[in-house]
Chain A
Protein backbone atom coordinates (compact mmCIF):
# COMPACT_ATOMS: atom_id res chain seq x y z
CA UNK A 1 0.00 0.00 0.00
CA UNK A 2 1.48 3.31 -1.08
CA UNK A 3 0.51 5.22 2.02
CA UNK A 4 2.51 2.80 4.14
CA UNK A 5 5.68 3.22 2.10
CA UNK A 6 8.20 5.65 3.57
CA UNK A 7 7.87 9.21 2.28
CA UNK A 8 11.65 9.60 2.35
CA UNK A 9 14.02 6.73 1.89
CA UNK A 10 17.76 7.19 2.33
CA UNK A 11 19.89 4.24 1.29
CA UNK A 12 23.60 3.83 1.92
CA UNK A 13 24.21 7.56 1.69
CA UNK A 14 27.77 8.82 2.06
CA UNK A 15 29.33 12.22 1.67
CA UNK A 16 33.03 12.92 1.50
CA UNK A 17 34.15 16.52 1.12
CA UNK A 18 36.99 17.57 -1.16
CA UNK A 19 39.20 17.91 1.90
CA UNK A 20 38.74 14.18 2.54
CA UNK A 21 36.45 14.73 5.53
CA UNK A 22 33.75 12.09 5.63
CA UNK A 23 30.61 13.91 6.78
CA UNK A 24 28.19 11.02 6.24
CA UNK A 25 28.97 7.35 6.26
CA UNK A 26 26.50 4.79 4.93
CA UNK A 27 23.29 6.41 6.19
CA UNK A 28 20.13 4.29 5.95
CA UNK A 29 16.97 5.98 7.09
CA UNK A 30 13.28 5.81 6.31
CA UNK A 31 10.93 8.63 7.24
CA UNK A 32 7.31 7.56 7.69
CA UNK A 33 4.45 9.41 6.13
CA UNK A 34 2.90 11.96 8.48
CA UNK A 35 5.31 11.57 11.37
CA UNK A 36 7.40 14.09 13.23
CA UNK A 37 10.93 12.78 13.15
CA UNK A 38 13.57 14.36 15.36
CA UNK A 39 17.18 14.04 14.36
CA UNK A 40 19.46 14.53 17.33
CA UNK A 41 23.18 14.82 17.30
CA UNK A 42 26.07 16.92 18.52
CA UNK A 43 27.53 19.73 16.41
CA UNK A 44 29.26 18.45 13.31
CA UNK A 45 27.47 15.10 13.46
CA UNK A 46 26.16 15.45 9.91
CA UNK A 47 22.57 16.58 10.52
CA UNK A 48 22.70 19.59 8.24
CA UNK A 49 24.70 17.74 5.57
CA UNK A 50 22.06 15.01 5.47
CA UNK A 51 19.25 17.54 5.10
CA UNK A 52 21.20 19.51 2.49
CA UNK A 53 21.63 16.43 0.31
CA UNK A 54 17.97 15.45 0.53
CA UNK A 55 16.92 19.00 -0.40
CA UNK A 56 19.36 19.39 -3.31
CA UNK A 57 21.75 21.91 -1.78
CA UNK A 58 24.70 19.51 -1.58
CA UNK A 59 25.74 16.57 -3.72
CA UNK A 60 26.14 13.10 -2.26
CA UNK A 61 29.21 10.97 -2.87
CA UNK A 62 27.41 7.63 -2.75
CA UNK A 63 23.98 6.22 -2.15
CA UNK A 64 20.44 7.04 -3.12
CA UNK A 65 17.61 9.14 -1.76
CA UNK A 66 13.99 8.95 -2.86
CA UNK A 67 11.21 11.31 -1.86
CA UNK A 68 7.75 9.80 -2.28
CA UNK A 69 9.40 7.35 -4.66
CA UNK A 70 11.09 10.05 -6.76
CA UNK A 71 14.87 9.92 -7.05
CA UNK A 72 16.27 13.28 -5.85
CA UNK A 73 18.62 13.48 -8.83
CA UNK A 74 16.69 11.95 -11.70
CA UNK A 75 13.26 13.29 -10.70
CA UNK A 76 14.47 16.36 -8.87
CA UNK A 77 11.48 18.45 -9.88
CA UNK A 78 8.93 16.01 -8.49
CA UNK A 79 11.02 15.36 -5.38
CA UNK A 80 11.81 18.97 -4.53
CA UNK A 81 8.32 20.31 -5.11
CA UNK A 82 7.16 18.17 -2.16
CA UNK A 83 9.70 19.66 0.23
CA UNK A 84 9.82 22.85 2.23
CA UNK A 85 13.12 23.69 3.88
CA UNK A 86 13.88 25.98 6.79
CA UNK A 87 17.65 26.11 7.15
CA UNK A 88 19.47 26.70 10.38
CA UNK A 89 21.00 30.07 9.53
CA UNK A 90 18.82 33.12 9.06
CA UNK A 91 19.23 33.59 5.33
CA UNK A 92 16.79 36.27 4.25
CA UNK A 93 16.61 39.08 1.79
CA UNK A 94 16.88 42.45 3.44
CA UNK A 95 14.93 44.98 1.42
CA UNK A 96 12.03 42.86 0.22
CA UNK A 97 8.74 42.98 2.07
CA UNK A 98 7.54 39.90 3.93
CA UNK A 99 4.68 39.48 1.46
CA UNK A 100 6.98 39.76 -1.57
CA UNK A 101 9.55 37.29 -0.32
CA UNK A 102 6.95 34.68 0.63
CA UNK A 103 5.17 35.11 -2.72
CA UNK A 104 8.53 34.78 -4.48
CA UNK A 105 9.06 31.38 -2.84
CA UNK A 106 5.70 30.15 -4.04
CA UNK A 107 6.50 31.22 -7.60
CA UNK A 108 9.93 29.62 -7.43
CA UNK A 109 8.27 26.30 -6.63
CA UNK A 110 6.06 26.65 -9.68
CA UNK A 111 2.77 27.18 -7.89
CA UNK A 112 0.16 29.61 -9.24
CA UNK A 113 -0.52 32.74 -7.19
CA UNK A 114 -2.73 32.14 -4.17
CA UNK A 115 -2.99 35.20 -1.93
CA UNK A 116 -5.47 33.44 0.35
CA UNK A 117 -2.97 30.70 1.15
CA UNK A 118 -0.16 33.16 1.82
CA UNK A 119 -2.48 35.18 4.02
CA UNK A 120 -3.27 32.06 6.03
CA UNK A 121 0.40 31.11 6.41
CA UNK A 122 1.31 34.62 7.57
CA UNK A 123 -1.59 34.69 10.01
CA UNK A 124 -0.72 31.26 11.41
CA UNK A 125 2.81 32.48 12.06
CA UNK A 126 1.64 35.81 13.53
CA UNK A 127 3.28 37.74 10.71
CA UNK A 128 0.18 39.21 9.12
CA UNK A 129 0.63 42.70 10.57
CA UNK A 130 4.22 42.67 9.29
CA UNK A 131 3.37 41.67 5.74
CA UNK A 132 4.43 45.02 4.25
CA UNK A 133 7.50 45.47 6.45
CA UNK A 134 10.96 45.13 4.99
CA UNK A 135 12.64 42.02 6.34
CA UNK A 136 15.64 44.02 7.54
CA UNK A 137 13.40 45.72 10.12
CA UNK A 138 12.26 42.45 11.73
CA UNK A 139 13.61 40.80 14.88
CA UNK A 140 15.48 37.49 14.74
CA UNK A 141 12.46 35.49 15.87
CA UNK A 142 10.30 37.10 13.19
CA UNK A 143 12.91 36.43 10.50
CA UNK A 144 12.89 32.79 11.55
CA UNK A 145 9.11 32.75 11.08
CA UNK A 146 9.46 34.45 7.70
CA UNK A 147 11.70 31.57 6.66
CA UNK A 148 9.09 29.09 7.86
CA UNK A 149 6.45 31.03 5.91
CA UNK A 150 8.60 30.83 2.78
CA UNK A 151 8.95 27.08 3.23
CA UNK A 152 5.18 26.69 3.67
CA UNK A 153 4.27 29.04 0.83
CA UNK A 154 4.13 26.24 -1.74
CA UNK A 155 2.12 23.81 0.40
CA UNK A 156 4.82 21.16 0.86
CA UNK A 157 4.07 17.63 2.04
CA UNK A 158 7.38 17.42 3.85
CA UNK A 159 8.89 20.13 6.02
CA UNK A 160 12.51 20.19 7.12
CA UNK A 161 13.22 22.33 10.16
CA UNK A 162 16.93 22.59 10.84
CA UNK A 163 17.30 23.78 14.43
CA UNK A 164 14.02 25.72 14.24
CA UNK A 165 14.14 27.04 17.77
CA UNK A 166 17.83 27.83 18.12
CA UNK A 167 18.06 31.26 19.69
CA UNK A 168 14.31 31.56 20.01
CA UNK A 169 12.85 32.45 23.40
CA UNK A 170 10.74 29.98 25.36
CA UNK A 171 7.39 31.55 24.56
CA UNK A 172 8.05 31.70 20.85
CA UNK A 173 9.37 28.15 20.94
CA UNK A 174 6.08 26.92 22.38
CA UNK A 175 4.23 28.88 19.69
CA UNK A 176 6.33 27.23 17.03
CA UNK A 177 5.59 23.79 18.44
CA UNK A 178 1.90 24.56 18.07
CA UNK A 179 2.41 25.48 14.44
CA UNK A 180 4.33 22.26 13.85
CA UNK A 181 1.60 20.18 15.49
CA UNK A 182 -1.07 21.86 13.40
CA UNK A 183 0.96 21.08 10.28
CA UNK A 184 1.24 17.46 11.26
CA UNK A 185 -2.49 17.35 11.81
CA UNK A 186 -2.95 18.61 8.25
CA UNK A 187 -0.87 15.67 6.98
CA UNK A 188 2.58 17.22 6.62
CA UNK A 189 5.58 15.05 7.48
CA UNK A 190 8.08 16.94 9.60
CA UNK A 191 11.76 16.31 10.09
CA UNK A 192 13.44 18.50 12.65
CA UNK A 193 16.93 18.65 13.99
CA UNK A 194 17.51 19.99 17.40
CA UNK A 195 19.92 20.35 20.25
CA UNK A 196 17.12 20.50 22.76
CA UNK A 197 16.25 17.04 24.03
CA UNK A 198 13.18 18.63 25.56
CA UNK A 199 12.02 19.58 22.09
CA UNK A 200 12.43 16.07 20.73
CA UNK A 201 10.62 14.64 23.77
CA UNK A 202 7.81 17.10 23.38
CA UNK A 203 7.33 16.91 19.65
CA UNK A 204 8.65 13.79 18.00
CA UNK A 205 6.98 10.52 17.14
CA UNK A 206 10.33 8.95 16.41
CA UNK A 207 13.84 9.94 17.29
CA UNK A 208 17.04 9.29 15.38
CA UNK A 209 20.48 9.91 16.79
CA UNK A 210 23.32 10.72 14.43
CA UNK A 211 26.95 10.96 15.42
CA UNK A 212 30.14 11.25 13.38
CA UNK A 213 28.18 10.80 10.16
CA UNK A 214 26.44 7.58 11.23
CA UNK A 215 22.93 6.90 12.41
CA UNK A 216 23.40 5.12 15.70
CA UNK A 217 19.79 4.80 16.79
CA UNK A 218 16.30 5.18 15.41
CA UNK A 219 13.49 4.45 17.81
CA UNK A 220 9.90 5.30 18.57
CA UNK A 221 9.73 7.90 21.26
CA UNK A 222 7.57 5.46 23.23
CA UNK A 223 10.43 2.96 23.19
CA UNK A 224 12.85 5.57 24.38
CA UNK A 225 10.44 6.70 27.03
CA UNK A 226 10.37 3.16 28.33
CA UNK A 227 14.11 3.39 28.79
CA UNK A 228 13.43 6.74 30.34
CA UNK A 229 10.98 5.11 32.71
CA UNK A 230 13.79 3.09 34.26
CA UNK A 231 14.84 4.25 37.69
CA UNK A 232 17.81 3.27 39.76
CA UNK A 233 17.64 2.81 43.51
CA UNK A 234 21.03 3.11 45.12
CA UNK A 235 21.40 1.71 48.63
CA UNK A 236 24.36 2.65 50.82
CA UNK A 237 25.22 -0.15 53.19
CA UNK A 238 26.30 0.15 56.81
CA UNK A 239 28.72 -2.75 56.51
CA UNK A 240 30.76 -3.98 53.62
CA UNK A 241 29.29 -6.98 51.75
CA UNK A 242 31.42 -9.48 49.81
CA UNK A 243 28.66 -11.05 47.72
CA UNK A 244 24.94 -10.68 47.33
CA UNK A 245 23.12 -13.44 49.22
CA UNK A 246 21.40 -16.15 47.12
CA UNK A 247 18.04 -15.16 48.55
CA UNK A 248 18.27 -11.79 46.78
CA UNK A 249 19.29 -13.16 43.35
CA UNK A 250 15.87 -12.42 41.82
CA UNK A 251 16.39 -8.67 42.21
CA UNK A 252 19.43 -8.59 39.88
CA UNK A 253 21.23 -6.26 42.22
CA UNK A 254 24.52 -4.68 41.21
CA UNK A 255 27.15 -4.55 43.90
CA UNK A 256 29.78 -1.82 43.75
CA UNK A 257 33.47 -2.72 43.83
CA UNK A 258 34.01 -1.53 47.37
CA UNK A 259 31.06 -3.62 48.53
CA UNK A 260 29.31 -0.66 50.13
CA UNK A 261 26.70 0.18 47.52
CA UNK A 262 23.95 -1.84 45.88
CA UNK A 263 21.97 -0.64 42.86
CA UNK A 264 18.49 -1.88 42.02
CA UNK A 265 16.96 -1.07 38.61
CA UNK A 266 13.18 -0.93 38.42
CA UNK A 267 10.43 0.24 36.14
CA UNK A 268 8.26 3.02 37.50
CA UNK A 269 5.56 2.13 35.03
CA UNK A 270 5.39 -1.52 36.16
CA UNK A 271 2.53 -2.67 38.40
CA UNK A 272 4.94 -3.30 41.22
CA UNK A 273 8.31 -1.73 41.69
CA UNK A 274 9.45 -4.42 44.12
CA UNK A 275 11.01 -1.88 46.46
CA UNK A 276 9.04 -2.84 49.54
CA UNK A 277 9.84 -6.53 49.24
CA UNK A 278 13.49 -5.78 48.43
CA UNK A 279 13.85 -3.74 51.60
CA UNK A 280 12.29 -6.41 53.78
CA UNK A 281 14.33 -9.17 52.10
CA UNK A 282 17.48 -7.15 52.70
CA UNK A 283 16.63 -6.87 56.39
CA UNK A 284 15.96 -10.58 56.55
CA UNK A 285 19.37 -11.19 54.99
CA UNK A 286 20.89 -9.06 57.73
CA UNK A 287 22.00 -6.22 55.45
CA UNK A 288 21.53 -2.82 56.98
CA UNK A 289 21.13 0.38 55.02
CA UNK A 290 22.59 3.75 55.96
CA UNK A 291 21.09 5.84 53.13
CA UNK A 292 19.33 5.60 49.80
CA UNK A 293 19.08 7.55 46.60
CA UNK A 294 17.02 7.21 43.41
CA UNK A 295 17.94 8.46 39.94
CA UNK A 296 16.16 8.44 36.59
CA UNK A 297 17.90 8.16 33.22
CA UNK A 298 16.85 11.02 30.94
CA UNK A 299 16.87 11.10 27.17
CA UNK A 300 19.88 13.29 27.62
CA UNK A 301 21.72 10.52 29.51
CA UNK A 302 20.85 8.01 26.81
CA UNK A 303 21.95 10.46 24.18
CA UNK A 304 25.22 11.30 25.89
CA UNK A 305 26.06 7.66 26.51
CA UNK A 306 25.28 6.88 22.87
CA UNK A 307 27.45 9.57 21.37
CA UNK A 308 30.29 9.07 23.84
CA UNK A 309 30.85 5.42 23.03
CA UNK A 310 33.79 5.22 20.64
Chain B
Protein backbone atom coordinates (compact mmCIF):
# COMPACT_ATOMS: atom_id res chain seq x y z
CA UNK B 1 0.00 0.00 0.00
CA UNK B 2 1.21 3.48 -0.92
CA UNK B 3 -0.31 5.15 2.15
CA UNK B 4 1.55 8.38 1.49
CA UNK B 5 -0.25 8.70 -1.84
CA UNK B 6 -3.63 8.06 -0.20
CA UNK B 7 -2.77 10.71 2.37
CA UNK B 8 -1.61 13.14 -0.32
CA UNK B 9 -4.84 12.79 -2.33
CA UNK B 10 -6.99 12.91 0.81
CA UNK B 11 -5.33 16.03 2.17
CA UNK B 12 -5.37 17.69 -1.24
CA UNK B 13 -9.12 17.14 -1.47
CA UNK B 14 -9.73 18.26 2.09
CA UNK B 15 -7.69 21.41 1.42
CA UNK B 16 -10.08 22.14 -1.42
CA UNK B 17 -12.94 21.83 1.07
CA UNK B 18 -11.45 24.37 3.45
CA UNK B 19 -10.67 26.69 0.56
CA UNK B 20 -14.29 26.62 -0.56
CA UNK B 21 -15.76 26.61 2.92
CA UNK B 22 -18.68 28.89 2.06
CA UNK B 23 -19.76 26.80 -0.86
CA UNK B 24 -19.12 23.43 0.76
CA UNK B 25 -20.43 23.89 4.28
CA UNK B 26 -22.27 27.15 4.73
CA UNK B 27 -24.59 26.94 1.73
CA UNK B 28 -26.01 23.46 2.55
CA UNK B 29 -26.54 24.56 6.16
CA UNK B 30 -28.42 27.67 5.01
CA UNK B 31 -30.63 25.72 2.61
CA UNK B 32 -31.39 23.11 5.29
CA UNK B 33 -32.35 25.84 7.73
CA UNK B 34 -34.75 27.14 5.09
CA UNK B 35 -36.37 23.70 4.88
CA UNK B 36 -36.89 23.80 8.64
CA UNK B 37 -38.48 27.20 8.49
CA UNK B 38 -40.77 26.33 5.56
CA UNK B 39 -41.64 22.69 6.24
CA UNK B 40 -41.00 22.44 9.94
CA UNK B 41 -42.42 25.71 11.23
CA UNK B 42 -44.80 27.07 8.57
CA UNK B 43 -46.35 23.96 7.03
CA UNK B 44 -45.45 21.64 9.89
CA UNK B 45 -47.56 23.65 12.32
CA UNK B 46 -50.62 22.45 10.37
CA UNK B 47 -49.51 18.82 10.55
CA UNK B 48 -49.64 17.55 14.06
CA UNK B 49 -47.71 14.31 14.23
CA UNK B 50 -46.37 11.55 12.03
CA UNK B 51 -46.06 8.12 13.67
CA UNK B 52 -46.15 9.75 17.08
CA UNK B 53 -43.38 12.26 16.37
CA UNK B 54 -43.91 15.98 15.75
CA UNK B 55 -43.56 16.85 12.07
CA UNK B 56 -40.56 19.14 12.53
CA UNK B 57 -38.71 16.40 14.35
CA UNK B 58 -39.87 13.77 11.88
CA UNK B 59 -38.21 15.45 8.86
CA UNK B 60 -34.75 15.85 10.51
CA UNK B 61 -33.27 12.49 9.42
CA UNK B 62 -34.64 12.96 5.90
CA UNK B 63 -33.13 16.42 5.64
CA UNK B 64 -29.74 15.21 6.84
CA UNK B 65 -29.87 12.38 4.29
CA UNK B 66 -30.91 14.79 1.54
CA UNK B 67 -27.77 16.85 2.13
CA UNK B 68 -25.47 13.88 2.66
CA UNK B 69 -26.63 12.24 -0.57
CA UNK B 70 -26.39 15.30 -2.76
CA UNK B 71 -23.15 16.57 -1.21
CA UNK B 72 -21.44 13.17 -1.39
CA UNK B 73 -22.22 12.95 -5.08
CA UNK B 74 -21.29 16.57 -5.75
CA UNK B 75 -17.97 16.39 -3.87
CA UNK B 76 -16.77 13.10 -5.24
CA UNK B 77 -17.87 13.74 -8.82
CA UNK B 78 -16.25 17.16 -8.90
CA UNK B 79 -13.12 15.85 -7.15
CA UNK B 80 -12.30 13.41 -9.93
CA UNK B 81 -13.90 15.31 -12.82
CA UNK B 82 -11.85 18.45 -12.28
CA UNK B 83 -8.39 16.84 -12.72
CA UNK B 84 -9.76 15.21 -15.86
CA UNK B 85 -11.02 18.57 -17.07
CA UNK B 86 -7.82 20.55 -16.43
CA UNK B 87 -5.52 17.65 -17.32
CA UNK B 88 -3.79 17.19 -13.96
CA UNK B 89 -5.09 13.61 -13.94
CA UNK B 90 -1.88 12.71 -15.84
CA UNK B 91 0.01 12.84 -12.59
CA UNK B 92 -2.35 10.47 -10.78
CA UNK B 93 -2.24 8.01 -13.67
CA UNK B 94 1.56 8.08 -13.92
CA UNK B 95 2.11 7.72 -10.16
CA UNK B 96 2.88 4.41 -8.46
CA UNK B 97 -0.61 4.18 -6.96
CA UNK B 98 -3.16 1.41 -7.26
CA UNK B 99 -6.75 2.03 -8.23
CA UNK B 100 -7.81 1.16 -4.73
CA UNK B 101 -5.54 3.86 -3.31
CA UNK B 102 -6.88 6.47 -5.74
CA UNK B 103 -10.48 5.62 -4.80
CA UNK B 104 -9.63 5.58 -1.11
CA UNK B 105 -8.14 9.08 -1.33
CA UNK B 106 -10.91 10.70 -3.37
CA UNK B 107 -13.91 8.85 -1.95
CA UNK B 108 -12.53 9.02 1.59
CA UNK B 109 -12.23 12.81 1.38
CA UNK B 110 -15.67 13.26 -0.20
CA UNK B 111 -17.27 11.01 2.41
CA UNK B 112 -15.47 12.76 5.28
CA UNK B 113 -16.74 16.07 4.05
CA UNK B 114 -20.36 14.96 3.81
CA UNK B 115 -20.24 13.22 7.22
CA UNK B 116 -19.00 16.47 8.77
CA UNK B 117 -21.75 18.28 6.91
CA UNK B 118 -24.40 15.80 8.09
CA UNK B 119 -23.33 16.31 11.70
CA UNK B 120 -23.38 20.10 11.29
CA UNK B 121 -26.89 19.93 9.86
CA UNK B 122 -27.94 17.71 12.74
CA UNK B 123 -26.59 20.29 15.17
CA UNK B 124 -28.40 23.03 13.26
CA UNK B 125 -31.63 21.02 13.45
CA UNK B 126 -31.27 20.75 17.22
CA UNK B 127 -31.63 24.53 17.34
CA UNK B 128 -35.07 24.31 15.70
CA UNK B 129 -36.61 21.13 17.11
CA UNK B 130 -36.06 18.83 20.09
CA UNK B 131 -33.90 15.88 18.97
CA UNK B 132 -33.29 12.50 20.52
CA UNK B 133 -31.25 9.75 18.97
CA UNK B 134 -32.20 6.31 20.28
CA UNK B 135 -29.44 4.35 18.51
CA UNK B 136 -26.50 6.71 18.02
CA UNK B 137 -24.17 3.98 16.76
CA UNK B 138 -26.67 2.83 14.18
CA UNK B 139 -27.22 6.45 13.25
CA UNK B 140 -23.47 6.86 12.63
CA UNK B 141 -23.33 3.54 10.76
CA UNK B 142 -26.09 4.64 8.37
CA UNK B 143 -24.49 8.05 7.99
CA UNK B 144 -21.05 6.64 7.15
CA UNK B 145 -22.39 3.89 4.88
CA UNK B 146 -24.52 6.36 2.95
CA UNK B 147 -21.74 8.91 2.65
CA UNK B 148 -19.28 6.29 1.37
CA UNK B 149 -21.76 4.67 -1.00
CA UNK B 150 -22.89 7.92 -2.59
CA UNK B 151 -19.35 9.29 -2.75
CA UNK B 152 -18.46 6.17 -4.74
CA UNK B 153 -21.51 6.79 -6.91
CA UNK B 154 -20.36 10.40 -7.37
CA UNK B 155 -16.86 9.20 -8.28
CA UNK B 156 -18.40 7.05 -11.02
CA UNK B 157 -20.41 10.01 -12.33
CA UNK B 158 -17.28 12.17 -12.31
CA UNK B 159 -15.43 9.64 -14.44
CA UNK B 160 -18.37 9.11 -16.77
CA UNK B 161 -19.06 12.82 -17.29
CA UNK B 162 -17.29 14.47 -20.20
CA UNK B 163 -18.80 17.89 -19.63
CA UNK B 164 -20.12 20.03 -16.81
CA UNK B 165 -23.67 19.45 -18.01
CA UNK B 166 -23.41 15.71 -17.54
CA UNK B 167 -21.84 16.28 -14.15
CA UNK B 168 -25.02 18.05 -13.03
CA UNK B 169 -27.47 15.86 -14.90
CA UNK B 170 -27.61 12.72 -12.73
CA UNK B 171 -27.74 14.57 -9.39
CA UNK B 172 -30.42 16.92 -10.65
CA UNK B 173 -32.59 14.62 -12.72
CA UNK B 174 -32.24 11.39 -10.77
CA UNK B 175 -30.94 11.83 -7.25
CA UNK B 176 -32.89 14.92 -6.14
CA UNK B 177 -36.28 13.53 -7.30
CA UNK B 178 -35.54 10.14 -5.73
CA UNK B 179 -34.62 11.82 -2.46
CA UNK B 180 -37.70 14.03 -2.38
CA UNK B 181 -39.90 11.06 -3.26
CA UNK B 182 -37.97 8.80 -0.89
CA UNK B 183 -39.78 9.89 2.25
CA UNK B 184 -37.66 12.83 3.38
CA UNK B 185 -40.77 14.82 4.21
CA UNK B 186 -43.39 12.11 4.78
CA UNK B 187 -43.85 8.55 5.85
CA UNK B 188 -44.29 6.13 2.97
CA UNK B 189 -47.26 4.74 4.90
CA UNK B 190 -49.10 8.01 4.30
CA UNK B 191 -49.28 7.23 0.56
CA UNK B 192 -52.14 5.35 -1.16
CA UNK B 193 -51.21 1.67 -1.52
CA UNK B 194 -50.50 1.85 -5.29
CA UNK B 195 -48.02 4.68 -4.88
CA UNK B 196 -46.56 2.97 -1.87
CA UNK B 197 -45.62 -0.07 -3.97
CA UNK B 198 -43.99 2.14 -6.60
CA UNK B 199 -42.14 4.09 -3.91
CA UNK B 200 -40.62 0.89 -2.58
CA UNK B 201 -38.67 0.62 -5.87
CA UNK B 202 -36.84 3.79 -4.86
CA UNK B 203 -33.55 2.84 -3.15
CA UNK B 204 -33.45 6.10 -1.19
CA UNK B 205 -36.55 5.02 0.77
CA UNK B 206 -34.46 2.34 2.47
CA UNK B 207 -31.68 4.74 3.41
CA UNK B 208 -34.00 7.32 4.92
CA UNK B 209 -36.15 4.72 6.65
CA UNK B 210 -33.16 3.06 8.30
CA UNK B 211 -31.66 6.39 9.28
CA UNK B 212 -34.95 7.58 10.75
CA UNK B 213 -35.31 4.34 12.68
CA UNK B 214 -31.96 4.99 14.41
CA UNK B 215 -33.46 8.25 15.70
CA UNK B 216 -37.05 7.40 16.64
CA UNK B 217 -37.47 3.65 16.11
CA UNK B 218 -40.05 4.33 13.47
CA UNK B 219 -39.47 2.89 10.01
CA UNK B 220 -41.28 2.36 6.70
CA UNK B 221 -39.41 -0.86 6.04
CA UNK B 222 -37.52 -3.25 8.31
CA UNK B 223 -34.09 -2.13 9.46
CA UNK B 224 -32.33 -5.23 8.17
CA UNK B 225 -33.82 -4.54 4.72
CA UNK B 226 -32.49 -0.98 4.95
CA UNK B 227 -29.00 -2.18 5.81
CA UNK B 228 -29.18 -4.85 3.11
CA UNK B 229 -30.23 -2.40 0.40
CA UNK B 230 -27.53 0.10 1.40
CA UNK B 231 -24.84 -2.59 1.33
CA UNK B 232 -26.24 -3.84 -1.96
CA UNK B 233 -25.93 -0.41 -3.55
CA UNK B 234 -22.43 -0.08 -2.12
CA UNK B 235 -21.50 -3.40 -3.73
CA UNK B 236 -22.89 -2.29 -7.11
CA UNK B 237 -20.84 0.92 -6.97
CA UNK B 238 -17.70 -1.01 -6.02
CA UNK B 239 -18.11 -3.37 -8.95
CA UNK B 240 -18.59 -0.40 -11.30
CA UNK B 241 -15.44 1.31 -9.98
CA UNK B 242 -13.50 -1.93 -10.31
CA UNK B 243 -14.66 -2.23 -13.92
CA UNK B 244 -13.75 1.41 -14.67
CA UNK B 245 -10.18 0.95 -13.54
CA UNK B 246 -9.78 -2.47 -15.09
CA UNK B 247 -10.75 -1.17 -18.51
CA UNK B 248 -9.40 2.38 -18.09
CA UNK B 249 -12.88 3.63 -19.10
CA UNK B 250 -12.73 7.39 -19.79
CA UNK B 251 -9.40 7.57 -17.95
CA UNK B 252 -6.91 6.03 -20.34
CA UNK B 253 -7.22 5.81 -24.08
Instruction: List residues of chain A with CB under 8 Å of any chain B CB.
Output: 17-18, 55-59, 76-81, 83, 85, 87, 89, 91-96, 100, 104-112, 150
Given contacts A58-B253, A76-B96, contact A105 B91 (CB under 8 A): yes
Q: Is B140 an interface residue (CB 8 A)?
A: no
The 5 closest A-B pairs by CB, nearest first: A107-B8, A91-B87, A77-B96, A80-B96, A55-B94
Are B96 and A81 closer than 8 Å at their CB atoms? yes
Instruction: List residues of chain B with CB under 8 Å of any chain A CB.
Output: 2, 4-5, 7-9, 11-12, 15, 19, 86-88, 90-98, 248, 252-253
A sample of 20 inter-chain contacts (CB < 8 A) reads A55-B93, A56-B93, A56-B94, A57-B93, A57-B94, A58-B252, A77-B2, A77-B96, A77-B98, A78-B96, A93-B86, A96-B12, A106-B8, A107-B7, A107-B8, A107-B11, A108-B91, A108-B92, A110-B96, A150-B91
A residues within 8 A CB of B97?
108, 110
Chain B: CB-nearest residue to A86: B90
B residues within 8 A CB of A78?
96
User: Which DSSP category, helix, strand, loop or mixed, fits chain B's interface?
Assistant: helix
B residues within 8 A CB of A110?
2, 4-5, 96-97
Given contacts A91-B86, A104-B8, contact A109 B252 (CB under 8 A): no
Closest approach, in angstroms, between the C-beta of B163 and any C-beta of chain A?
A: 18
**A18 to B250 CA separation, bound complex (whole angstroms):** 12
User: Which DSSP category, helix, strand, loop or mixed, fits chain A's interface?
Assistant: loop
B residues within 8 A CB of A17?
253
B residues within 8 A CB of A77?
2, 96, 98
A residues within 8 A CB of B15?
96, 100
**A87 to B86 CA separation, bound complex (whole angstroms):** 13
Are A57 and B90 closer than 8 Å at their CB atoms? yes
B residues within 8 A CB of A93?
86, 88
**A83 to B11 CA separation, bound complex (whole angstroms):** 23
**A104 to B13 CA separation, bound complex (whole angstroms):** 11
Closest approach, in angstroms, between the C-beta of B215 and any C-beta of chain A?
A: 39
Chain B: CB-nearest residue to A23: B253
